[in-house]
Chains A and B, each alone.
Chain A
Amino acid sequence: MLHQKVEATDQSTTGLLVDHVGVRIGSTPIVNDVSFHAKPGEVLAIIGPSGSGKTTLLRAMTGELSYSGHVLLGGLEIGDLPPEAQAQMRGVLPQLSQISFPLTVSEVIGLGLIDRQQKRRDRLVRITEALSKVGLAGFEGRNYQDLSGGEQQRVQLARVLCQVWEPVADDGTPRWLFLDEPVSSLDIKHQYQIMRLAADYAERGGGVVAVMHDLNLTLTFADRVLVMRRGENLAFGAREKVMRTDLLSRAYDFPLTLTKCAVAGAPIVVPVTGR
């Protein structure tokens, strides 16, 4: 009991606390009464069928949409924080990223370098580092608009990484990555590369919240999982507790089963019906 209480205070100062959050777009309620929490050092995956409100919830948590209830990041109400303050605490990878003018890759990533004291030389070095992290070394001078969808997505991730480069700020507060389907347009190799990058960010003390479509990647990389259905919180908890055959089948309204991969021994999700 005492232990639990300590954890709760810890949550409210360093973690992400989502408390009875509801979001409306126009007059339509999209997210209803969702509560969960995330800790720095962990990857939290938000899963659920299309239209279940995952992205809307993420947009509320990143200050883009107004919400009812509470979203506390490091003990601060997101809705009350100015964009500058939020930008110091977390980076956001949006789902779709079209830019309006022909910037080079380097210029796009440079937009994430929000520390205006940083020297030009250091900025260029950081951009190069970020590009090699996302597997696009040498892409600096390419025109962003000429890249494939998957390459653009990774350039955007490099931009987001530059914004919150150190997972833990100098004063010890953790930083956060909010990722909306970070691997949706990537091939399998780069899916793993990017998810490892996210997991590594968490291991170094940062927090990661990712909207995911791929259940197998979720099984492999998520520490905690929030399952949404029809705008509501269907289940939330540690991965092993939530990623269960019955729960997933109910969430997606589709018969799924969990089995073990014959080669790696890792759990995988497959449809019951085959074809």
Chain B
Amino acid sequence: MSESTISARKIRMRSWFGIAEARNGSREQLARAVIAVLVVATAGTMLASLAIGPISVPVFDILPKIATRLWSPAEGAPEGVSLRDWVVVMDIRLPRVVLGALVGAALAVSGAVMQGLFRNPLADPGIVGVSAGAGLGAAMFIVLGNTVLSPVVALLGIYAVPLAAFLGGLVTTLLLYRIGTRGGMTSVATLLLAGIALGALTGAMTGVLVYVADDQELRDLQFWGLGSLAGANWEKVASAAPIILLMLVSVPFLARGLNGLTLGEAAASHIGVRVQRLKNLSILMVAGATGASVAVSGGIGFVGIVVPHLLRLTIGPDHKYLLPAAALLGAILLIAADTLSRTIVSPAELPIGIITAFVGAPFFLWILLRKRGLTGL
């Protein structure tokens, strides 16, 4: 079946959701409905993840108590809640759910922005080496934080690792853009190959760090490298949240520009988009959000490619709706995957990066097969 028949059928399928949408070609109402559903689903997934685990917790009893505590802070478990349940929720599961939501949203939105920027659905921070660059930055601080880089750590505190990861991601993204894009057109082949090369280079540098690391640092590095939310605590939430939230609130301002960029750089500028500024901001945001995520959760791959792609199939590529929907679906998928990762082999746990790779890698291949021949890879 040809690509065109597939997409024609897709549009016909969408008419199931709203007959008027298909006729006037606008998917805005559908997109709004999907976002509303995702908001509810996000809340539901968060609640479920709080409740599920080796210890079952009565979430609905505890939630109101948490709300009260926000107004009047106090020590110990509130009345009517066992100390065990309180500790499980407040110190273990809640920070993990919040971190999962932040990281999932950041990864999915980074993917969507990067795909818009490179004008290609296969661009993703994990695949083109941005995460690897961010990982190098983070690894430097894990290994050298107590010795050579200790003055920096003393100065920046918990923000040292996220900032280093941000800088690593930024440098990689800038290099990729310089290498992969000529005259506003990005060659997928160049992009992916450059990503492999940059990934290998940063991997080698990380290897040097592994070589000089001591036992404890090695354990930290390896655990972190697999991608996991297991170490989640409020300190990690506090270190990643500012950058990720800043990115999430500012990304809607990129939507119009990224939509224009669908037509190409020249046409985008013809309809009034400041293309250079758009590119700079996008790169900054992708690097920032990827860096912050990688710093707290290691290399969790494929969220940035699966989520935007699924959404484009349903609500279309309009970034005004795609970006917020991606943030929500990214959060849902990551929390769900994390819940799975800590229950599937309970009481041990599987690094979440393994789960996302198991789902994401075949998905990536599927997109590749569908697009082959069209893009002339």
Which residues on A are within 8 Å of B, measured CB to CB?
Answer: 59, 62-64, 82-84, 86-88, 91-92, 94, 97-108, 110-112, 114, 120, 124, 127-128, 139-143, 145-146, 163
Contacts and interface: CB of A to CB of B under 8 A. Distances in A.
Nearest to A92: B270
Interface in B280-337: 312, 316-318
B93 interface: no
B11 to A, nearest CB: 5
Contacts of B271: 87, 111-112, 114, 163
B233 interface: no
Contacts of A101: 121, 262, 312, 317
A104 B7 contact: no
Interface stretch (B22-30, B146-154, B194-202, B241-249): B22-30
B259 interface: yes
20 contacts: A63-B269, A84-B272, A84-B274, A94-B266, A97-B263, A99-B264, A101-B262, A103-B262, A104-B25, A105-B25, A110-B26, A111-B262, A114-B271, A120-B26, A120-B28, A140-B23, A141-B22, A143-B8, A143-B11, A145-B7
Nearest to A110: B26
A106 B25 contact: yes
B11 A141 contact: yes
B157 to A, nearest CB: 41
B169 interface: no
Given A104-B316, A142-B11, A83 B264 contact: no
B317 A64 contact: no
A256 to B, nearest CB: 32
Nearest to B184: A64
B187 interface: no
A84 B21 CA distance: 30
Interface residues of B, number: 36
Contact of B267 (A82, A97, A103): A97
Contacts of B270: 62-64, 83, 86-87, 91-92, 94
Contact of B260 (A94, A111, A128, A139): A111
A108 B260 CA distance: 9
Nearest to A138: B23
B7 A146 contact: yes
Given A83-B274, A107-B26, A145-B7, A102 B317 contact: yes
Given A62-B270, A92-B270, A145-B7, A106 B24 contact: yes
B257 to A, nearest CB: 10
Contact of A97 (B28, B259, B264): B264
A94 B4 CA distance: 24
Contacts of B272: 83-84, 86-88, 114
B119 A100 contact: yes
A104 B261 CA distance: 15
Contacts of B8: 143, 146
Contact of B27 (A92, A99, A104): A104
